[in-house]
């Protein structure tokens, strides 16, 4: 009820409030940065994870985090940091995006990605692509070099080629691990691996927010199926007046609930904090519907959250205050306190 009460109070106040967005907190955050990344949420249990595999994930997340943080530390943009992080994860076979994408029902890799700039609400996305090495770069090209937001399939691939992006043969995306998963699911004639996605959100020193998401979708998904990752407002959203969000999970639920936008709307119109909004949507609203997954988000003041309702989510963060962390399993933050970064 407190969420409804806050929303009613805001609606009453709005009749006498200014129509311009409030930037009263912006001065407090200029010069600071925050970077949060994720590599997908789902049934991730320590008892099922071999130590050497766990180390591979932790090392890769740490490597990606450092590369993105280096950009922000030097005064680079949140867009560049997000793009760098996602590109690196797309190039790793560990994650269900780019090189590590799963196979659809036809035995093909079909990828989606999106990116959004919180400064001016510009956005770009691609869906159902098969030959673009880094879909996140194509999404950014759509945002910066076309009048559109979303391009799909061959049209997106032709556009990416004209932009000089690397085009590869479909065989590039083949990995033995994903193929075995495909054969296993095919034998059962069922859809699996709903939660494999990568994403990043960032606040840069100029106070600008950005978010991006990339995925290979679901194993054995129907050909042409598109989830929330390339849908602005569902899987990705960024607005300097509220927050930047990247989602991972069962995409149909995230689309129906317009999750990424809903987080920002609850903050702007319901006066909820970022954490309150994320907890309500992921732990209450989606959970009641049977929607599994999670999200990472950072608001315009530098607060961030990594919220999920599954047993794990590959995730990491870094801030200009010198704190960082790499996590995989649920409640791991409570087990391992935040530590100062090593210089």
Burial group, residue 51, by CB count within 10 angstroms (0-12, 13-18, 19+):
exposed
To which residue do tokens 């085009």 refer? 167
Helix ranges restricted to H, the chain: 2-14, 26-29, 51-73, 78-90, 135-145, 153-162, 176-188, 251-256, 259-270, 274-278, 287-289, 332-335
Angle made by CA atoms 257, 235, 80, in degrees to the nearest 5: 155
Which entry of 87, 131, 197, 301 is annotated as an active-site residue? 197
> Rounded to the nearest 5°, which phi and psi values hold at 18?
-75, 150
The DSSP code for 280 is I
Tell me if residue 197 is catalytic.
yes
Q: CB–CB of 67/85 below 8 Å?
A: yes
Burial of 14 (0-12, 13-18, 19+ CB in 10 A): exposed
- Residue 330, number of CB atoms within 10 A of its CB: 18
DSSP letters for 23-86: -TTHHHHTT--EEEEEEEEE---GGGS-HHHHHHHHHHHHHHHHHHHHHHHTT--HHHHHHHHH
Pairing of strands 111-117, 197-203: unpaired
- Contact predicate 130/206, CB 8 Å: no
Residue closest to 249 by CA, chosen among 219, 223, 229: 229
Task: List residues with catalytic annotation.
Answer: 197
């Amino acid at each position: 009820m407190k969420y409804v009460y806050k929303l009613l109070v805001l609606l009453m106040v709005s009749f006498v409030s200014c129509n311009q967005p409030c930037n009263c907190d912006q001065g407090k955050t200029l010069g600071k940065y925050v970077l949060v990344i994720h590599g997908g949420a789902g049934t991730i249990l320590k008892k099922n994870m071999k130590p050497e595999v766990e180390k591979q994930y932790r090392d890769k997340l740490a490597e990606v985090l450092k590369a993105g943080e280096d950009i922000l530390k030097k005064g680079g943009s949140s867009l560049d940091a997000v793009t760098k992080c996602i590109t690196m994860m797309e190039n790793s076979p560990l994650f269900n995006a780019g090189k590590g994408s799963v196979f659809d029902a036809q035995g093909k890799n079909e990828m989606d990605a999106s990116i959004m700039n919180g400064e001016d609400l510009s956005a770009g996305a691609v869906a159902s692509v098969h030959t673009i090495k880094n879909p996140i770069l194509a999404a950014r090209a759509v945002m910066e070099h076309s009048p559109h937001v979303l391009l799909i399939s061959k049209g997106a691939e032709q556009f990416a080629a004209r932009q000089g992006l690397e085009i590869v043969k479909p065989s590039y995306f083949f990995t033995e691990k994903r193929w075995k998963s495909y054969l296993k699911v095919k034998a059962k004639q069922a859809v699996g691996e709903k939660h494999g996605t990568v994403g990043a959100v960032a606040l840069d020193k100029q106070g600008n927010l950005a978010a991006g998401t990339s995925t290979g979708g679901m194993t054995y998904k129907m050909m042409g199926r598109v989830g929330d990752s390339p849908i602005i407002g569902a899987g990705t959203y960024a607005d300097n007046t509220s927050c930047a969000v990247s989602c991972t999970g069962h995409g149909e639920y995230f689309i129906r609930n317009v999750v990424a936008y809903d987080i920002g709307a609850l903050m702007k119109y319901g006066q909820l904090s970022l954490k309150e909004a994320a907890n309500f949507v992921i732990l209450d609203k989606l959970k009641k519907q049977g929607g599994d997954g999670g999200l990472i988000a950072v608001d315009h003041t530098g607060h961030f959250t990594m919220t999920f309702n599954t047993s794990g989510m590959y995730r990491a963060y870094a801030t200009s205050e010198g704190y960082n962390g790499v996590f995989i399993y649920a409640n791991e933050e409570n087990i391992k306190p935040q530590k100062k970064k090593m210089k």
